[in-house]
Amino acid sequence: MRVTHWLTVIAFFALLITGAEIVISHPRFYWGETGNSGTTPLFKIPIPSSRDTVPSGYNYVMPDQNGWSRYLHFEAAWVLVLTGLVYIVASLFTAHFRNNLIPPRADRRWRAIRDVFARYLRRAPPREAESHSYNVVQRIAYLSVIFVLFPLVIWTGLALSPAFDSAVPAAVNLLGGRQSARTLHFFVSLLLVGFLGVHIAMIVLAGFWSRMRAMITGRVSPSERP
């Protein structure tokens, strides 16, 4: 299980870096089916492009990194998807979702969620249970990433494949067209990066090395044990 976490970390960083490189070749986003340098974008990212056909407003063309970026993006996507499948199957076998991620009945209330945030804001020390189990906000965040954001980023990515769309046209039509799918792929990726930012911040606050050791070896130090 911990192996799947670290494989996902490697694949995610590869996807993030190569995805950024691919965006640089056309840092303009559109809505609907079509969009190009001759049409009005929904928004632009204010950076130079790696193509001189893109009106970026900068008199500078970035180096083109699309070839290896695209190869690596799709290979890392396979690693992510296959790792995700292993994780889901293993989790079903070990009842990981039921035991560790689905919030217990008592916590399925706004009050429980508010309490967690209140403790975070007061920077209260974690409850004893939290060193070996997740609180309700963590559980909701992890479940959203696993069952909402990752499926969405995979769907919007697949919708950008002209061959996949020929077999499953609804994959792109339901999203409102090719350019809408590309824009949504970008925003879902940003949400995942947002999660990563908070995730890392929390690890740092909780003690970077102790959390890293726990996630790599599966052991918590004796002082943290209940």
Partner 1 sequence: MSNISRRKLITTGIAATAGLAGLAVASRIARRYGLIPPDSGGIYGPGETLTYAAQRLLTSHSLAREFPRDMISKVPFANETAPPSDAFKRHQATEFADWRLTVDGMVAHPTAFSLADLKALPVHNQITEVACEEGWSYVAEWIGTPLVNVLDAVGILPQARYVVYFSIEPDWWESIDMADALHPQTFLTLGMNDGDLPVKFGGPLRLRVPRQLGYKSVKYITHITATDSLKRFGKGLGSASPEAGYAWYAGI
Binding site for partner 1 (CB under 8 A): 22-23, 25-26, 28, 33-39, 51-54, 66-68, 70-72, 74-78, 160-167, 169, 172-173, 178-179, 182, 217
What token pair was written down for 10? Answer: 């490697």
DSSP string, 129-186: GGGTS--HHHHHHHHHIIIIIHHHHHHHHHTT-HHHHHH-THHHHTTTSHHHHHHHHH
126 versus 169: smaller Cβ distance to partner 1: 169
d(CA 218, CA 123): 26
66 versus 131: smaller Cβ distance to partner 1: 66
d(CA 72, CA 19): 10
101 versus 154: smaller Cβ distance to partner 1: 154
Asked if 220 and 210 count as a contact pair (C-beta separation under 8 A), the reply is yes
d(CA 196, CA 56): 29
Q: Shortest gap between Cβ of 146 and partner 1 (angstroms)?
A: 22
Q: Shortest gap between Cβ of 152 and partner 1 (angstroms)?
A: 18
Q: Shortest gap between Cβ of 92 and partner 1 (angstroms)?
A: 20
Amino acid at site 23: V
Q: Shortest gap between Cβ of 21 and partner 1 (angstroms)?
A: 11
172 versus 184: smaller Cβ distance to partner 1: 172
Amino acid at site 49: S
53 versus 94: smaller Cβ distance to partner 1: 53
Q: Shortest gap between Cβ of 140 and partner 1 (angstroms)?
A: 32
